Amino acid sequence: MPTPRQNARITWLKGADFPCAPFPAPQTRPRRLVLLGAPGIGKGTQAELLAKKFGSCQLSTGDVFRMAKRAPDEEKTPAIREALEFMKAGKLVPDTTVVALVEERKPCLRCSGGFLLDGFPRTVFQAEELDRILRQEHLALDAVLSYDLAEAKILDRVSGRRVCSKCKVSYHVKDHPPKVDGVCDRCGGPLYQREDDRPETVHVRMETYWHSTEPLIEHYQKKGLLVHIECGETPEETFARTLAALKVGA
């Protein structure tokens, strides 16, 4: 039986019609955050830690596309099929497809614990569309967290990343290996290397990031929402810095 928080994430993944169990009363006020940072920097892990802390819904557009990839072919719409081709090449999925996907799941933005957007927005157009959607929903962002790390370290993190195919927990072959090689500590599921983490795709993703996503830093700086966080050596260290930046106790 999924917990309410996991259920909220499943709703986001499966679509707005999937029933969402109500959140338990949030411990703190709802947090509405965007997480920015180059691919492989560890945004997903930070989003997961923050979701636990605040009871927020973790929304990752990349996870939605990865989930769509596993669907039977006859269930894939032409737009999704096209999106998956872009993803396979390490390129960004067209803005209109991504925005439509987020719009379909607007109820998830209204979760009582707030939301953590990981991997969206990725372009200035998407950020402007998010501004529009939030205005319509009478919601406002609390902050945009921008994670920074030297490029060589990012490449090392991406090439060593392994993900559980069942529960999505991330490992690193050197820095955070599972107890048993290739097996998830948490659920026993098999670990795999994401297709877009392979060396031939990673450099395209990095280029795309600098070209399309870096301009978002300025977009959010102008709005006074940007918070820079220098990544630490471990996810826990980065999380401690994130809480400090948000002025929240551990």
Smallest gap from Cβ 31 to ligand AMP, in A, equals: 20
Say which of 9, 31, 66, 122 is annotated catalytic: 122
Q: Which stretch binds ligand AMP (CB under 6 A): 18-26, 88-96, 139-147, 236-244?
A: 88-96
Respond yes or no: is residue 162 known to be catalytic.
Answer: no
Under a CB-based contact definition with an 8 Å cutoff, are residues 62 and 152 in contact? Answer: no
Instruction: Report if residue 98 touches ligand AMP, rule: CB under 6 A.
Output: yes
Cis amide prior to 107 (ω within 30 degrees): no
CB half-sphere exposure, 125, CA atoms < 13 A? 10
Phi, psi dihedrals of residue 27, rounded to the nearest 5°: -75, -30
Respond yes or no: is residue 43 known to be catalytic.
Answer: yes
Instruction: Report if residue 157 touches ligand AMP, rule: CB under 6 A.
Output: no
Smallest gap from Cβ 86 to ligand AMP, in A, equals: 5
Respond yes or no: is residue 32 known to be catalytic.
Answer: no
Q: What beta strand segments (E) does the chain contain?
A: 31-36, 57-60, 114-118, 143-148, 161-164, 170-172, 191-192, 226-230
Smallest gap from Cβ 40 to ligand AMP, in A, equals: 8
Instruction: Report if residue 93 touches ligand AMP, rule: CB under 6 A.
Output: yes
- CA–chain centroid gap for 61, Å, is 7
Instruction: Report if residue 59 touches ligand AMP, rule: CB under 6 A.
Output: no
DSSP β-ladder status, 161-164 and 191-192: antiparallel
* Residues within the interface to ligand AMP (CB under 6 A): 39, 61-62, 65, 86-87, 90-93, 98, 119-120, 122, 126, 196, 205
